[in-house]
């Protein structure tokens, strides 16, 4: 997932864990009681917390715990991660922990590290590393969806993520993402120079019908996909490429990558969206060699989750974290800066 891949959904990408269809003869019944009767291992209080976090949907829309289920209502329980097919096992994966207290942990994820187990990546993930980090903490259960990562970023995107160490913290942080009060800022190197700057991209995002591994942008009037908004600003034009700051208003799968592709400025080296081709610049052997060397320096989409801000779930103090550009991105940027200085 996502640039951001999280989680109800104006800020989050959610995964269905349970689905129930009310009978034709269903009497009106509060949704928390309806689910308590069907989820034997979940207390009513736990279900109410899930509803508060926007994780209980009826006919595709979040509802509060006092919603009364009607005949043929489709009730789903969604979480901010896929259902794990197997128990997550601890693995001693090095973690760059930026901050930690009894309630939250902020980690700086390197590019190349998958966040969640699943679909061929059942070990060696960030979640496996977190399981090892918390192995001596009796209050943390990596397999309990009420705690853990509050949002995600793509395997080949680097940067900051927040982990909730308690159910209350995850509920609180989930609400902040849902209400769009968190601060999430990315740095991207893109082909060309987006205009106007600053600018805003508004376009629904859904799976590309021609390539299910890629997301596509659709006109909101078509009613396809999920509403998505990305604000951007060109920080440094460098001729054929530009360093751009992107601020997420929503958090869809591949949002920044798909939106920048949509306006004609794919991320540098982003093979999924055509950024691994030479899209700008002169047609010369020397230039082609220069770009090829840049692809080798940073062989992944040039995207970094630089800034993360939220209100601490317990202290209510506003917290901001900033992550330095990783080595591959920094070297890539330095090469383009040096080239621009020579022209």
Digit-coded pLDDT (tens) for 167-196: 899 989 988 988 889 999 999 999 999 999
Degrees to nearest 5, angle at CA 12 with 9 and 18 = 75
Mean pLDDT of the chain: 89
Considering the domain boundaries, does residue 174 fall inside one? Answer: no
189 and 62 within one domain: no
Considering the domain boundaries, does residue 124 fall inside one? Answer: no
Considering the domain boundaries, does residue 107 fall inside one? Answer: no
Please, what is the end-to-end C-alpha distance for the chain in angstroms?
A: 38
Work out the percent of the chain whose per-residue pLDDT is above 90: 68
Tell me how far apart the alpha carbons of residues 240 and 271 are, in angstroms, rounded to a whole number. 17
205 and 56 within one domain: no
- Of 79, 103, 120, the position where a domain reaches its end is 79
Among the listed residues 73, 154, 270, 276, the single catalytic one is 154
Q: What are the pLDDT digits (tens) for 214-233?
A: 999 999 999 899 999 999 99
Token representation of residue 332: 């890539």
**CATH number (domain holding residue 35):** 3.10.290.10
Considering the domain boundaries, does residue 96 fall inside one? Answer: no
- The torsion defined by the Cα of 98, 246, 53 and 223, in degrees rounded to 10, comes to -160
Considering the domain boundaries, does residue 237 fall inside one? Answer: yes
Please choose, from the candidates 171, 99, 86, the residue with its C-alpha nearest in 3D space to the C-alpha of residue 128: 86
Domain count, the chain: 2
Tell me how far apart the alpha carbons of residues 326 and 108 are, in angstroms, rounded to a whole number. 10
199 and 70 within one domain: no
Tell me how far apart the alpha carbons of residues 250 and 295 are, in angstroms, rounded to a whole number. 29
pTM of the model: 0.77
DSSP string for residues in 290-343: HHHHHHHHS-S--EEEEEEEEE-TTT--EEEEE-PPPHHHHHHHHHHHHHHHH-
Q: Is the pLDDT of residue 205 over 90?
A: yes
**CATH number (domain holding residue 262):** 3.30.2350.10
Q: What are the pLDDT digits (tens) for 3-43?
A: 544 433 334 456 667 889 999 899 999 999 999 888 866 67
- Of 55, 79, 103, the position where a domain reaches its end is 79
Considering the domain boundaries, does residue 271 fall inside one? Answer: yes
Degrees to nearest 5, angle at CA 48 with 90 and 252 = 60
Q: Is the pLDDT of residue 1 over 80?
A: no
Active-site residue flag, 2: no
Considering the domain boundaries, does residue 97 fall inside one? Answer: no
- Of 60, 79, 98, the position where a domain reaches its end is 79
Please choose, from the candidates 177, 123, 174, the residue with its C-alpha nearest in 3D space to the C-alpha of residue 145: 174
Considering the domain boundaries, does residue 202 fall inside one? Answer: yes
Q: Which domain holds residue 38?
A: 15-79
């Amino acid at each position: 997932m996502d640039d951001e891949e999280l989680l109800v959904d104006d800020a989050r990408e959610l995964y269905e864990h349970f689905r129930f269809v009310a009978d034709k003869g269903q009497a009106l019944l509060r949704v928390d009681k309806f689910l308590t009767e069907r989820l034997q291992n979940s207390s009513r209080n736990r279900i109410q917390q899930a509803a508060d976090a926007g994780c209980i949907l009826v006919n595709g829309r979040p509802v509060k715990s006092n919603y009364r289920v009607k005949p043929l209502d489709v009730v789903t329980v969604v979480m901010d991660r896929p259902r794990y097919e197997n128990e997550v096992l601890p693995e001693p994966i090095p973690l760059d922990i930026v901050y930690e207290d009894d309630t939250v942990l902020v980690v700086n994820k390197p590019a190349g590290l998958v966040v969640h187990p699943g679909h061929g990546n059942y070990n060696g993930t960030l979640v496996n590393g977190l399981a090892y980090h918390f192995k001596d903490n009796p209050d943390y259960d990596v397999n309990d969806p009420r705690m853990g990562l509050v949002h995600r970023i793509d395997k080949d995107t680097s940067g900051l993520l927040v982990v909730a160490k308690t159910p209350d913290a995850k509920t609180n942080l989930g609400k902040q993402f849902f209400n769009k009060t968190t601060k999430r800022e990315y740095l991207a190197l893109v082909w060309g120079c987006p205009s106007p700057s600053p600018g805003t991209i508004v376009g629904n995002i859904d799976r590309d019908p021609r390539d299910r591994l890629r997301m596509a942008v659709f006109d909101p009037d078509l009613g396809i996909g999920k509403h998505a908004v990305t604000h951007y600003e060109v920080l440094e034009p460098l001729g054929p490429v530009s360093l751009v700051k992107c601020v997420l208003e929503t958090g869809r799968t591949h949002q920044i990558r798909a939106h920048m592709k949509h306006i004609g400025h794919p991320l540098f080296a982003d093979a999924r969206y055509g950024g691994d081709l030479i899209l700008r610049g002169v047609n010369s052997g020397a230039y082609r060699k220069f770009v090829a060397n840049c692809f080798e320096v940073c062989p992944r989409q040039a995207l970094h989750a630089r800034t993360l801000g939220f209100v601490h779930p317990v202290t209510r103090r506003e917290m901001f974290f900033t992550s330095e550009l990783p080595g591959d991105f920094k070297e890539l940027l330095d090469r383009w800066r040096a080239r621009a200085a020579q022209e």
